[in-house]
Amino acid sequence: MRWWCRETGSLFLRGAVLSGLLVSCSGENAPSSSLNQTESLAGVDADANGVRDDVDRYIDTTYADQTSADLNKAVRQYAKAVQSSLVDADSQTQSLTHATERFRALECLMARRPREFHTIFVDVRAQLLNTPSRSEAYLKADDQVKTANLPLLPADQWMTACQS
Amino acid sequence: MSVMTSRRFLVLSFSVLLGAGWLPDATAQVQPQSACQNATAPRTAIYFVNGVTTTLDEARLNGGKLELEFLSKLPTMAPAVQAMCHLFFLNINPTSGAVKDFLEAGQQRLGFTSTIFWQGLEGFGLATSGVIAPVLQRPISSADQIDQAMITRHATAYREQIAFPSCRRVLIVPHSQGNLYSNVSFDSVFTQALPPPLGTLKIVGVATPADRVGGKGLHRTSSTDVLINGIRLVLPATLDANTNWGISPLLFSPAYSGGHSFIGYLTAEPSRTQILADMESSLIALAAVNPC
């Protein structure tokens, strides 16, 4: 029993260290930091598709293969809705509109990847909110709709939330 | 088998499990519930109430995960549960202020960048940092200590679902801090004038920092939930740990290593199966009561 506890404890510590390394390797100093990011809230969107260029590159790199084409679109739909939320976080009306857009995008993501949607979400949101000002704008947008009753689609209709 | 060999075997096994957990899954169209095609079938409203580490987007995903897992299990549930049409809702517990506090503390005290903070919001680092636990340790018996407007909003939603013309039974599945609010909301529903019939509202708590479940409902808290374990040290009356995540690789991933994530509870075994079984038995009890 003692041996098992020692081994399990050791393993847990290794896992925790590994987890830390995984976090460190995927943080702001990971490959994405070499991309041309700016510190402004909106960042650079040269192709005017509603998604910051560094996030566009992240999505295209992460979901590059043919089998991920549907996921590439779903993640970009969410990224676009978050970007709008950040830029319009001072407006309660716009925040409500964009929160609804985020819900539709997340329902699309759940329809596309019903088992792994959460890890995909965690990673792309971390890319989107990579500065304190963007993080604070995201939370401010949430605060604008804290008493709203946002409509949900039932699971059998989530696919209809996907934009073509 | 030598100690070194067995250690390598365990590490390799965990690596394989970690990889398996990250395998892409196929798109699967969820089919409509057959009972929902019948206008006369009884309806239930299943509410998810989020915890303090959960932003609006995560609340939507947590509610979606609950719906997906429930619907996947529904075909094997009791006939009384299958005969009802289950509708899913969110009762949002606004957390933007608290998460902003965690963000600032994470940056200042732990040296987290924004990216690392968002990747590890429910991870081991923040769960053990002492940043989050104090929010869940305030007195839970006094309603004036918590957001009364939110309690009223939630309780009103439950009452409207139960009352005519909706006539729906209500099951609440709160996570973490959502349990504190749900208990007070439950009390509010039944202490107002003209309360609904007893037994029309039930709670199945997940990862609860509370010392009770409203209406003597069921709860599941994992023995590897670092946050709740920390709270139980300070508040020994906190409900016991009665499930776990097995040897889930989730415990070794940055996003879930705190053992507190709702998604983790509904992914790992046996917690997932036990929560769904608690929902099933609560729904069987609800089916026996007529709300109108």
Q: Is B180 helix (H, G, I), strand (E, B) or coil?
A: helix
Write down the pLDDT at residue B138. Answer: 59
Looking at the predicted structure, is the pLDDT value of residue A141 above 80? yes
Mean pLDDT, 10 residues at a time, chain B of 292 residues = 42 39 54 94 97 92 98 97 98 83 78 86 74 65 64 95 96 95 95 92 96 96 93 91 93 86 96 98 97 92
Candidate from A22-36, A134-148, B165-179, B188-202 with smallest mean pLDDT: A22-36
B290 CA to centre of own chain = 26
Show which of residues 155-174 on chain B sit within 8 Å of chain A, judged by CB atoms.
none
Higher pLDDT, A95 or B194: A95
CA distance B278 to B204: 7
Show which of residues 223-252 on chain B sit within 8 Å of chain A, judged by CB atoms.
251-252
Q: Is B220 helix (H, G, I), strand (E, B) or coil?
A: strand
The residue-averaged pLDDT of A17-24 equals 39
Question: What sign has the CA pseudo-torsion A100, A103, A107, A108?
Answer: positive
Place of tokens 């349990």: B179
Looking at the predicted structure, is the pLDDT value of residue A52 above 50? yes
Write down the pLDDT at residue A17. Answer: 37
Within 8 A of A64 by CB-CB distance, chain B residues are: none
Provide the β-strand partners of residue B220. B206
Q: Is B38 helix (H, G, I), strand (E, B) or coil?
A: coil
Query: What CA–CA distances, in Å, run from B184 to B84, B152, B190, B278?
Result: 27, 10, 10, 21
Give this prediction's pTM.
Answer: 0.85
**Which two three-digit tokens encode residue B234?**
């300070």
Write down the pLDDT at residue B53. Answer: 83
**Which two three-digit tokens encode residue B85?**
């049409």
Nearest to B244 by CA among A8, A141, A111: A8
Nearest to B100 by CA among A82, A126, A135: A135
Provide the β-strand partners of residue B175. B206
Within 8 A of A122 by CB-CB distance, chain B residues are: 118-119, 255
pLDDT digits (tens, 9 = 90+) for B278-290: 999 999 999 999 9
CA distance A41 to chain B (A): 13
CA distance A118 to B59: 11
Band of the pLDDT at A38, cuts 50, 70, 90?
confident
Q: Is the ipTM of this complex over 0.90?
A: no
| Overall size of chain B counted in residues | 292
CA distance A74 to chain B (A): 12
Omega of the bond prior to B270 within 30 degrees of 0, cis? yes
Place of tokens 């749900």: B182
* Greatest distance between any 2 Cα atoms in chain A: 61
pLDDT digits (tens, 9 = 90+) for A59-85: 999 999 989 999 999 999 999 999 999
Write down the pLDDT at residue A16. Answer: 40
